[in-house]
Protein backbone atom coordinates (compact mmCIF):
# COMPACT_ATOMS: atom_id res chain seq x y z
CA UNK A 1 0.00 0.00 0.00
CA UNK A 2 1.32 3.47 -0.89
CA UNK A 3 2.33 6.17 1.55
CA UNK A 4 1.64 9.87 1.00
CA UNK A 5 3.23 12.73 2.90
CA UNK A 6 1.58 16.14 2.91
CA UNK A 7 3.87 19.02 3.81
CA UNK A 8 3.06 22.60 4.78
CA UNK A 9 -0.51 21.85 5.79
CA UNK A 10 -1.94 25.00 7.38
CA UNK A 11 -2.77 24.68 11.08
CA UNK A 12 -6.44 25.59 10.54
CA UNK A 13 -6.80 22.83 7.91
CA UNK A 14 -5.20 20.28 10.24
CA UNK A 15 -7.49 21.40 13.07
CA UNK A 16 -10.54 21.08 10.82
CA UNK A 17 -9.42 17.59 9.75
CA UNK A 18 -9.03 16.51 13.37
CA UNK A 19 -12.51 17.81 14.23
CA UNK A 20 -14.06 16.17 11.18
CA UNK A 21 -12.31 12.88 12.01
CA UNK A 22 -13.65 13.01 15.57
CA UNK A 23 -17.18 13.61 14.26
CA UNK A 24 -16.88 10.49 12.10
CA UNK A 25 -15.17 8.39 14.78
CA UNK A 26 -11.94 8.03 12.82
CA UNK A 27 -8.31 8.98 13.22
CA UNK A 28 -7.12 12.03 11.33
CA UNK A 29 -5.23 9.75 8.96
CA UNK A 30 -8.34 7.64 8.44
CA UNK A 31 -10.38 10.75 7.73
CA UNK A 32 -7.87 11.93 5.13
CA UNK A 33 -8.01 8.49 3.47
CA UNK A 34 -11.82 8.67 3.38
CA UNK A 35 -11.77 12.19 1.91
CA UNK A 36 -9.25 11.22 -0.78
CA UNK A 37 -11.13 8.03 -1.66
CA UNK A 38 -14.39 9.97 -2.04
CA UNK A 39 -12.71 12.69 -4.11
CA UNK A 40 -11.35 10.30 -6.74
CA UNK A 41 -14.20 7.78 -6.81
CA UNK A 42 -15.77 7.47 -10.25
CA UNK A 43 -19.53 7.81 -10.33
CA UNK A 44 -21.69 4.78 -11.00
CA UNK A 45 -22.61 4.58 -14.68
CA UNK A 46 -26.20 5.62 -15.29
CA UNK A 47 -28.40 3.46 -17.41
CA UNK A 48 -30.02 5.20 -20.35
CA UNK A 49 -33.54 4.49 -19.13
CA UNK A 50 -32.79 5.97 -15.71
CA UNK A 51 -31.25 9.07 -17.31
CA UNK A 52 -34.25 9.57 -19.60
CA UNK A 53 -36.71 9.11 -16.73
CA UNK A 54 -34.80 11.67 -14.65
CA UNK A 55 -34.81 14.09 -17.59
CA UNK A 56 -38.56 13.64 -18.01
CA UNK A 57 -39.13 14.41 -14.33
CA UNK A 58 -36.83 17.42 -14.54
CA UNK A 59 -38.70 18.99 -17.47
CA UNK A 60 -42.05 18.05 -15.98
CA UNK A 61 -43.51 15.79 -18.66
CA UNK A 62 -46.97 14.52 -17.81
CA UNK A 63 -48.26 11.02 -18.51
CA UNK A 64 -50.51 12.46 -21.25
CA UNK A 65 -47.54 14.11 -22.97
CA UNK A 66 -45.54 10.87 -22.81
CA UNK A 67 -48.49 8.98 -24.30
CA UNK A 68 -48.65 11.52 -27.16
CA UNK A 69 -44.90 11.14 -27.80
CA UNK A 70 -45.20 7.35 -27.89
CA UNK A 71 -48.16 7.54 -30.27
CA UNK A 72 -46.27 9.84 -32.65
CA UNK A 73 -43.24 7.51 -32.99
CA UNK A 74 -42.54 6.15 -36.45
CA UNK A 75 -42.81 2.40 -36.04
CA UNK A 76 -42.08 1.42 -39.63
CA UNK A 77 -39.26 -1.05 -40.14
CA UNK A 78 -36.11 0.46 -41.58
CA UNK A 79 -34.97 -0.73 -44.98
CA UNK A 80 -31.87 -2.92 -44.90
CA UNK A 81 -28.63 -1.34 -46.05
CA UNK A 82 -27.48 -2.40 -49.50
CA UNK A 83 -23.72 -2.88 -49.45
CA UNK A 84 -23.36 -3.72 -53.18
pLDDT of residue 37: 94
Work out whether the CA dihedral 69, 72, 76, 81 comes out positive or negative: negative
Number of domains in the chain: 2
- Residue 78 within a domain: no
Asked whether residue 2 is assigned to any structural domain, the reply reads no
Long-range CB pairs of 56-59 (<8 Å, 24+ gap) are: none
50, 36: one domain:
no
Residues 12-30 have a mean pLDDT of 96
The domain of 29 spans 11-40
Verify that 19 and 32 share a domain, yes or no.
yes
User: Is 3 within the bounds of a domain?
Assistant: no
Please, are residues 28 and 17 in contact by the beta-carbon 8 Å criterion? yes
Same-domain status, 35 and 54: no
The pLDDT tens digits of the residues spanning 51-81 come to 888 888 888 888 888 888 888 888 888 888 9
Amino acid sequence: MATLTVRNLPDDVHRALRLRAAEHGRSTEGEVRAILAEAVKTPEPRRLGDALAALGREVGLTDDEITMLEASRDRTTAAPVNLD
